[in-house]
Amino acid sequence: MLCLGIEGTAHTCGIGIVNSRGKILANASRTYIPEHGGIHPREAARFHAANARLVLNEALKAAKIDIDDVDLVAFSRGPGLGPCLRTAATAARALASWLDVPIVSVNHCIAHVEIGRLTEGAKDPVTLYVSGGNTQVIAFDAGRYRVFGETLDIPVGNCLDVFAREVGIPHPGGPNVERLAREGKHYIPLPYVVKGMDLSFSGLMTEAVRKHRAGSNLRDLCFSLQETAFAALIEVTERAVAHTEKREVMLTGGVAANKRLREMLKLMAREHHAKFFVPPMELCADNGAMIGWTGVLAYRHGVRQKLKDTGVMQRWRTDQVDIPWRNR
Ligand code: AMP
Ligand code: MG
């Protein structure tokens, strides 16, 4: 069985082709980069519509298959930006009905976890999923992926990006903040906010921008911003590991590219005698292969959907999804 997975929650238009044994035959994508400021949802959706055919052709070519060989279509139903989700869903419905094959909708956050379990061999990890649009600590418990902690306001990637933009660090924000942080020498105190198991980054971002305007050294600020934000992420992930007694920790999402975050999480995992996993960056970032593979898992375990029941869900929560492919 070949599943074609369509990712379209935010800036990435991704199409992956995966077989029923989990072999990734193709993972093509194009990413929308705003000319200035953050992602404009309608602009991003237009980008998806304009690039879908190109990405589809690339995926088919890489997989060396014909469109008629596709047996199943999966798409990212949410969470994400409404216009982007609707564009990807429309493409998925059109393809499924034209090919006359089943369609399954996939939760984007769960797909990030599942692709890591597939390729890295993690069986039951506590996952720290950190990106421009999401920040969650996820672990499987009692039949579902539970959110052990999450941001109450902006995602950590967004915190880095907006800080960068406000202080004049060029795009891409996250990697450039990381580069400058390596040259930082002094820790400048910044608001460290953990509420119960949840996180908050907007006050941290605002204060870091304010300190820059007040004359603090930019390299020291980048260093301090990373140390503060990442320490909070590690604290919450560590408590999830201690509570669940799981022996695996996984890092994913675009911010997983950050070497300092990797180092901190790896140290924490070691202290808990847990194995540490990070998928390759093309699978940490938003991608179609993860949607295709999660579609395979769902379909193989009896998930069936009618076209009319595939409406997008902008705020679809990780813990709202039944996971028939995993044992309780
Ligand atoms: P995603 O939303 O998964 O596509 O990932 C994009 C996010 O990852 C953006 O917020 C980037 O700033 C962030 N990011 C990418 N590389 C790094 C890095 N080296 N350090 C920190 N953040 C990064
Ligand atoms: Mg993502």
271 and 128 co-located in one domain: yes
Residue by residue, pLDDT tens for the chain (328 residues) are 999 999 999 999 999 999 999 999 999 999 999 988 889 999 999 999 999 999 999 999 999 999 999 999 999 999 999 999 999 999 999 999 999 999 999 999 999 999 999 999 999 999 999 999 999 999 999 999 999 999 999 999 999 999 999 999 988 899 999 999 999 999 999 999 999 999 999 999 999 999 999 999 999 999 999 999 999 999 999 999 999 999 999 999 999 999 999 999 999 999 999 999 999 999 999 999 999 999 999 999 999 999 999 999 999 999 999 999 998 6
Ligand nearest to the CA of 291: 2
60 and 154 co-located in one domain: no
173 lines ligand 1 (CB under 6 A): yes
Q: What are the structure tokens assigned to 268, written together? A: 């924490």
Cα 280 from Cα 270, distance rounded (Å): 20
255 lines ligand 1 (CB under 6 A): yes
260 and 301 co-located in one domain: no
Sign of the dihedral through C-alpha 31, 34, 35, 40: positive
Residue 118 lies in a domain: no
160 lines ligand 1 (CB under 6 A): yes
250 and 299 co-located in one domain: no
pLDDT of residue 296: 98
Q: Identify the domain containing residue 272 by its residue range.
A: 124-279
Residue 325 lies in a domain: no
Residue 235 lies in a domain: yes
204 and 247 co-located in one domain: yes
134 and 183 co-located in one domain: yes
Instruction: State which H helix or E strand residue 13 sits in.
Output: strand 12-19
Residue 119 lies in a domain: no
> Looking at residue 168, which CATH number applies to its domain?
3.30.420.40
Ligand 1 nearest atom to the CA of residue 226, by list position: 21
**How many domains in the chain?**
2
Using the mean position of ligand 2's atoms as its centre, give its distance from the Cα of residue 307 in Å. 24
Ligand nearest to the CA of 179: 1
132 lines ligand 1 (CB under 6 A): yes
226 and 298 co-located in one domain: no
131 and 73 co-located in one domain: no
The residue whose CA has the least distance to atom 21 of ligand 1 is 174
pLDDT of residue 172: 86
274 and 290 co-located in one domain: no
Ligand nearest to the CA of 282: 1
Residue 261 lies in a domain: yes
80 and 174 co-located in one domain: no
Sign of the dihedral through C-alpha 159, 137, 280, 108: negative
pLDDT of residue 328: 67
Burial class (CB in 10 A: 0-12, 13-18, 19+), 3: buried
Residue 149 lies in a domain: yes
8 lines ligand 1 (CB under 6 A): no
Burial class (CB in 10 A: 0-12, 13-18, 19+), 245: exposed
The residue to mutate among 255, 262, 278, 283, having the most atoms of ligand 1 within 8 angstroms of its beta carbon, is 255
Residue 59 lies in a domain: yes
pTM for this model (two decimals): 0.98
Ligand 1 nearest atom to the CA of residue 12, by list position: 4
Ligand 1 nearest atom to the CA of residue 259, by list position: 19
Residue 185 lies in a domain: yes
303 lines ligand 1 (CB under 6 A): no
108 and 162 co-located in one domain: no
Cα 319 from Cα 316, distance rounded (Å): 9
Ligand 1 nearest atom to the CA of residue 173, by list position: 12
Do the Cβ atoms of 237 and 128 come closer than 8 Å? yes
223 and 296 co-located in one domain: no
pLDDT of residue 37: 85
